[in-house]
Amino acid sequence: MGKDKKARKYSVMKKMLSVRDARIKANQKKEEEKKKKIEEQKIRQVPQVPSSLFFAYNDQLGPPYYVIVDTNFVNFSIKNKLDLFQSMIDCLYAKCVPHITDCVAGELEKLGTKFRVAQKIISDPRFERLPCLHKGTYADDCIVDRVTQHRCYIVATCDRDLKRRLRKIPGVPIMYISKNRYSIERMPDAFGAPRT
């Protein structure tokens, strides 16, 4: 007869809980206290909204409207064969003063000769130049900073990410292109504003 095969027995030791085990009640209490402290620290301060805002609409905005124009808005206007000045007037039924920041002009210069027409359009003397004092030429951050400081601007852009960021700032109307014409959101009196 053959031998029965048995599994080797390794040194057997009693299983013990470590001091840091989550099942120990003292540790559970400490973790709950930590969570409470973290929640207390999470209380956010809501920034004070200007008194000129009525719900989501800005009462300070009035003609002549100051419109900050983004790089892609100029390019899409050219693609859709829209005159920037006349289309803005048609949308808002008032005089509009388009503004270009140095960052937007820098972005158009970086894009090269392909966007020569856009560079020619923004060099028009009817466009007002806004000087930038910060480092770098990222136009989206520049526009968002300027609009949060001064709520007297309308932002003209077709960029989804920039629109998403601007919607978080109360009282800033956004002009964009839809169906070969300019539309505007957050401005109930305007012609291009969507009706709800």
CATH number at residue 104: 3.40.50.1010
* Residue 117 pLDDT > 80: yes
In 3D, which of 67, 137, 146 has the Cα closest to residue 106? 137
Using one digit for the tens of pLDDT, what is the confidence trace for 138-182?
A: 899 999 999 998 888 999 999 999 999 999 988 899 999 999 999
What residues make up the domain containing 147?
Answer: 62-185
> Domain for residue 178, yes or no?
yes
- pLDDT at 191 > cutoff 90: no
In a domain, 119, yes or no: yes
pLDDT at 161: 95
Residues 162/138, Cβ–Cβ less than 8 Å:
no
Number of domains in the chain: 1
Q: What is the DSSP letter of 179?
A: T
Is residue 27, in this structure, part of any structural domain at all?
A: no
pLDDT > 60? residue 89 = yes
Examine the pLDDT at 42 and tell me if it is beyond 80.
no
Strand, helix or coil for residue 58: strand
4 in a domain, yes or no?
A: no
Q: Quick check: is 9 in a domain?
A: no
Q: What's the pLDDT score for residue 178?
A: 92
pLDDT computed for residue 7 by the predictor: 65
C-alpha distances in Å from residue 107, one per residue of 46, 52, 84, 122, 174 = 34, 33, 19, 12, 20
Residue 11 covered by a domain: no
Determine, yes or no, domain membership for 159.
yes
